[in-house]
Chains A and B, each alone.
Chain A
Amino acid sequence: MAAAFWQTLWLTFQLAAATTVLLIFIGIPIAYLLSQSQSRWKPFLEALISMPLVLPPTVLGFYLLLAFSPERQLGAWLEHTFGLRLVFTFAGLVVGSIFYSLPFMVQPVQSGFENLPRNLAEASYTLGKSRLQTLLRVQLPNIKPPLLTGIVLAFAHTVGEFGVILMIGGNIPGQTRVASIAIYDEVEALNYGMANQYALVLVAFAFTILALVYSINRRLLRTG
């Protein structure tokens, strides 16, 4: 039993870590482009990215399940071209989690970019630096608090995910069975003690990580 317990927690951590790392590379460029954009399509793109905040996760999970199903075009194409199956697999969970946690990464980072005085980037341009150099050496280093917030929230939110995983991942131990699913499963089987163990770990984790973010951000803001 203990082995299964740790396996589930480890899988939960792996999912959150993989999702967060990928979101850093996906979310930051999106946040940067949105913060620079004057396009009239921007509100629609922002709405699209923020949809997981208001939709029941089962809705997202349901459509992902349909899209990734090997019987459908996208799912079949992925399986044929990359040998990648996204339903009831760990890879599928990562993809689902990226959609699900995207707003948690994009929103704080985007507002970080938007609140940064514009003339910092402009000064860098007049000093001959490209947009990429400016992004990496001037803009990102000066939005550390929102960056940290985005990264930690994306991680923590993925740990707390339930509906999307239930829809496209199911409950396969060592594959797709993460802590939130395990709690539901244990309660169904009337194993309240086991459910409580998972639940306590998640409560402790959520509190620790949030307290950490707030205290680090306070220090970062104070030291500028």
Chain B
Amino acid sequence: MLSSGGGPLNLDIRLDIEEGEFLAITGPSGSGKTTLLRLLTGLIPADEGFIRFDGQTWLDTRQGVNRRPQERNVGLVFQDYALFPNMTVRQNLSFALSKNQSPDIVDELMAITELVELEGAYPATLSGGQQQRVALARALVRKPRLLLLDEPLSALDASIRSKLQNYILRLHEAFQLTTLLVSHDYREIFKLASRVVALRQGQISQPDLPEAVLFSSGQDGDIRLSGEVLSIEEAGAGFAINVLIGHNVVRVPARPKDIQQVQPGDSVMVSFQAFQPELVR
């Protein structure tokens, strides 16, 4: 039993992740997403479980194996960054160096994330996006093979998000990482991840959007647009969901079971079956 924001929660998960995969984890708040990341890092114990990564057993409650966070070499980016306020940008990164590790990696990471000019700045003087880049770079100093991102972009506005998503992708590829991203944002998931799982009440369930919709290349005439749910209203026998797409509001018919899974403010994808799409100038 674990406690989450919404009270006690039984997290019961079996998950296999491919090496080099970019996996997104979504689900309502209190469903165990952050708890899952904390279990993977070893920051909290599991009652029962088995975690094996890259040939190393990190957790095996039957054998009494439970590696400490220090021995797991996993990079974790906290939702609120958790930068050390008493250290400059460079010191935050250098702090993470292992004994005898060459400091070159610090310079390399600062170059990739464009932090070189900020190396002497303290976290309190940085913008949210800059802090995010420091947290990301710091998590990679030890060259972990596994990177965990806990809603890393939720506190940032849209223009910075998109830029940071590019950094994340670049680092994922440059360091050949296996990456787990907790996110609510389907646009973000679509852009970054190659697979998505949803957590509900501590269990893996179907994502709100089927993967087929998210990741398939789509067939002719299948148009997908991402937007934000504005409101849900009754319409005739069913419901209608108003979705803001760009500057347009689109009214999408919905069945009662559809509306249970969305609420205003959610980001969603709207899929249109167009018989013959045509560009009009």
Contact = CB atoms under 8 A, between A and B. Distances in A.
Interface stretch (B51-59, B69-77, B255-263): B69-77
Interface stretch (B10-18, B82-90, B200-208): B82-90
Interface of A: 117, 119-120, 122-130, 137-138, 141-142, 224
Nearest to A123: B82
A129 B138 CA distance: 13
A120 B84 contact: yes
Interface of B: 41, 43, 68-70, 72-76, 78, 80, 82-86, 95-96, 98, 122, 124, 138-139, 141-142
Given A137-B95, A224-B124, A128 B84 contact: no
Contacts of B142: 127-128
Contacts, number: 59
Contacts of B72: 126
Specify which of B70, B73, B139 lies most central, judged by the most chain A CB atoms within 10 Å of its CB.
B70
A28 to B, nearest CB: 17
23 contacts: A117-B82, A119-B82, A123-B76, A123-B78, A123-B83, A126-B41, A126-B43, A126-B72, A126-B74, A126-B75, A126-B76, A126-B139, A127-B95, A127-B96, A127-B141, A128-B98, A128-B142, A129-B95, A137-B95, A142-B84, A142-B86, A224-B122, A224-B124
Specify which of A128, A129, A141, A142 lies most central, judged by the most chain B CB atoms within 10 Å of its CB.
A128
Contacts of A117: 80, 82
Given A127-B141, A142-B84, A142-B85, 11 more contacts: A119-B78, A122-B69, A123-B76, A125-B69, A126-B41, A126-B70, A126-B139, A127-B138, A128-B70, A129-B95, A224-B124
Contacts of B124: 224
Nearest to A138: B84
